[in-house]
Chain A
Amino acid sequence: MRLTCPLCGERDLREFSYTGDAVLCERPAPEAGPEAWDAYLHLRENPAGVARDLWHHGAGCSAWLVVTRDTVTHAVIAVALADAP
């Protein structure tokens, strides 16, 4: 797999590491309650198909990225900076 880092350009998979579903970007408020926190940290859609997930360009610019990707074909649909609005 190759990912196109918005800052660095197209790079080999081995420069990146995956963390999990991009739901991790949406941290619940402290008072959101145990269900919301359970959903945030544990429960997953785990789609067989298009997924949005969180990657880190650790051997590159250190950017955190949201990658839109197909988990069945491994096609990469989009890569964006995780802090982009």
Chain B
Amino acid sequence: MGYNALRLLKEGLTGNKGWQPVWRDPAPKDAYDIVIIGGGGHGLATAYYLAREHGLRNVAVLEKGYLGGGNVGRNTTIVRANYAMPGNSEFYSHSLKLWEGLERELNYNVMHSQRGLIDLFHSDDQRDAYVRGGNAMINQGDDAVLLDRDEVRDRLPYLDFDNARFPIHGALLHPRGGTARHDAVAWGYARAADRRGVDLIQQCEVTGIDVEGGKVQGVTTTRGVIRARKVAIVTAGRSGQVAAMAGLRLPVESHVLQAFVTEGLKPIIDHVVIFGMGHFYISQSDKGGLVFGGDLDGYASYAQRGNLPTAEHVMEAAMALMPVVGQARVLRSWGGIMDMTPDGSPIIDRTGIEGLYLDCGWCYGGFKATPASGFALAHLLATDRPHDTAARFRLDRFRDGVGLMDEEGTGAQHKLH
């Protein structure tokens, strides 16, 4: 059923009794052309683009819990394309373009809102590093604006310009950066994929990947064996465990990243604001909650919950940058499992096993990548050639050192990106 205002009116006047299920609950078939492990944002987007771009509909998405239950539903909803390194630059630029038509393409309002992202800098060196990135964005065909201190003040008068430990020197504005409603992205892709015939199978945990003679045969699940010509692992923080079922070891370490939301408040923060000296980023949701986060907790973890020192550190950054939010109360905190790579950039590639594909290593940047990741993985699955925008996301790049994309320059320590 198509969604529009008229339908909303009609259903509203008839007691909202006519709404149809947003997706089916099919039983798994014995075999598919392609099985995608992981019903998160990237897996669902992959399924959608396989059907939409390549006409491949004999596809199943297997989800051990509920659709969109992983990082797509536990992030700070930021959508941006402000990368400096070749590889990331073209990929995230492509992703942002896909975001920009997503509501109508999916017939689902994901509330993508280009509120503008303001990345503050606090020293000349930091400014120059941001300028390098901003110029890379413009070279890529995207937008970036250098703001001086007064221009920042015009836009964000509530920041502490007078007493801050690290004074605000200026900012890089990414006008097309913004936010989207995270759950809606998963649901929108799920619904659109389902409508094109993809089977979305929830409560179906993959317990084994069946490989014979170096070639993938299918998967074993809690709902039986499912054969497939191609299998894609799209399981973010759990990539290591799933890949281990096929005997692979990945350049990935899983870490916790916390996020926080406050009680609903009348609008005060219109942009996405990023503090250059304190691992802190904040925006305000359409419901009024301040949504913010900081750095990784800092140790390998699958606990999906954070520690107190890191939470305090994030609150301290808020008080340092914008004490105006001090009376806001934190309502909820949560943690996601981040699949951290040695250069902080992702992997979309084939593996040493024929028919087994990998989409992982999104670190804490996976949400904004959802459309392009799905698009590129679908292209790879359908054509066995990497999509141009993701050609650098090779699995082997750490071994040969070719085309590393270390945006932070922190080196081959997974936790430092």
Contacts and interface: CB of A to CB of B under 8 A. Distances in A.
* A and B are interacting partners: yes
Nearest to A35: B399
B415 A18 contact: yes
Interface in B246-260: 249-254
30 contacts: A12-B309, A13-B307, A14-B309, A18-B298, A18-B299, A20-B253, A20-B300, A20-B413, A20-B414, A21-B253, A35-B399, A38-B399, A41-B342, A42-B398, A42-B412, A44-B253, A45-B249, A46-B252, A46-B300, A47-B240, A48-B241, A48-B254, A48-B302, A53-B299, A53-B300, A55-B299, A71-B300, A71-B301, A71-B302, A72-B302
A11 to B, nearest CB: 12
B303 interface: yes
Interface string B224-242: 0000000000000010110
B414 A72 contact: no
A38 B300 contact: no
The number of chain B residues touching the other chain, given as a range, is: 20 to 34
A19 B415 contact: yes
Given A46-B253, A74-B301, 10 more contacts: A18-B299, A19-B413, A19-B415, A34-B399, A38-B399, A46-B241, A46-B252, A46-B254, A51-B300, A71-B254
A51 B299 CA distance: 11
A42 B309 CA distance: 28
Contacts of A43: 249-251
B85 to A, nearest CB: 18
Interface string A25-55: 0000000001100110111111110010101
A55 B398 CA distance: 24
B398 A38 contact: yes
Interface in A50-80: 51, 53, 55, 69, 71-74
A44 B249 contact: yes
Contacts of A53: 299-300
A35 B302 CA distance: 27
A53 B342 CA distance: 16
Interface of B: 238, 240-241, 244, 249-254, 298-303, 307, 309, 342, 398-400, 412-415
B309 A13 contact: yes
A42 B342 contact: yes
A82 to B, nearest CB: 15
B264 to A, nearest CB: 32
Contacts of A46: 240-241, 250, 252-254, 300
Contacts of B400: 34
Contacts of A45: 240, 244, 249
Contacts of B300: 18, 20-21, 46, 51, 53, 71
A71 B309 CA distance: 18
B284 to A, nearest CB: 30
A39 B249 contact: yes
A1 interface: yes
A7 to B, nearest CB: 20
Given A18-B300, A34-B399, A53-B300, A44 B250 contact: yes
Contacts of B303: 71-74
B414 A1 contact: no
Contacts of A39: 249
A3 B303 CA distance: 18
A1 B253 contact: no
A71 B298 CA distance: 12
